[in-house]
Chain A
Amino acid sequence: DQQVKQNSPSLSVQEGRISILNCDYTNSMFDYFLWYKKYPAEGPTFLISISSIKDKNEDGRFTVFLNKSAKHLSLHIVPSQPGDSAVYFCAASGGRDKIIFGKGTRLHILP
């Protein structure tokens, strides 16, 4: 049973446009959410996070939005750049400090 779901395996976006990656979760005990970025042959690297007491967190080109009532979060990248092509993982934690990841979304930035 996937507690963190990324329903889009892949996404293609034109360079300079906005990339929106979506994530849904089922466990209402989750209170902290993270996004990780992964390049081939490397481990995931932390990108941005949000606490459940907020509904938005922004860091440069990256913004994460949290909708607790819908159990949904999204990552916005504006403007998208070629170096943003990677796999993006959504993750959630709560309670016993377990961090649960989704299956990932592969983002392709098109020239």
Chain B
Amino acid sequence: DAGVIQSPRHEVTEMGQEVTLRCKPISGHNSLFWYRQTMMRGLELLIYFNNNVPIDDSGMPEDRFSAKMPNASFSTLKIQPSEPRDSAVYFCASRQGLGNSPLHFGNGTRLTVT
């Protein structure tokens, strides 16, 4: 079991550039979550998918953020254009089923926007 795989591990970009973060969930997991971690706000839920369908995107901060899940094994989180306040660690997590099964997290992508 390879776990949840995120890429890249680190991303440094200039303000105004497009950023794409990638996630491969654990095979067989049908729910996928994107979180953002900052000192001020802790772990914020941005969006989550069930069976590749977005269920709740109320945590997406602005229209500059978008997420897709074209198939069960891949998801992207895109920021266009990026701003310095987007600097954070972005985590992807997956789980099997709904309700009370625990999330399995990737190791995150540290994004720095200068």
List the B side residues contacting A103 at CB < 8 Å. 41-43
Residue contact B4 to A43, C-beta cutoff 8 Å: yes
Residue contact A98 to B99, C-beta cutoff 8 Å: no
Residue contact A89 to B107, C-beta cutoff 8 Å: no
List the B side residues contacting A42 at CB < 8 Å. 107-108
Query: CA A91 – CA B33 in complex, angstroms?
Result: 14
List the A side residues contacting B42 at CB < 8 Å. 6, 89, 101-104
Residue of A nearest to B110 (CB): A41
Residue of B nearest to A104 (CB): B42
Contact-size category for B:
20 to 34
**Is residue A62 contacting chain B, with contact meaning CB distance below 8 A?**
no
Taking A46-B102, A97-B98 as given, write out 4 further A-B residue pairs in contact, using a Cβ cutoff of 8 Å, ordered by the A residue number. A43-B105, A51-B100, A98-B45, A103-B41
Residue contact B102 to A97, C-beta cutoff 8 Å: no
Give the dominant DSSP class at A's interface. Answer: strand
The tally of residues in A whose CB lies under 8 Å from a CB in B reads 23
Query: CA A42 – CA B103 in complex, angstroms?
Result: 14
Query: CA A69 – CA B25 in complex, angstroms?
Result: 37
5 A–B pairs (Cβ distance < 8 Å), ordered by A: A34-B102, A41-B108, A49-B100, A99-B33, A101-B35
Residue of B nearest to A31 (CB): B100
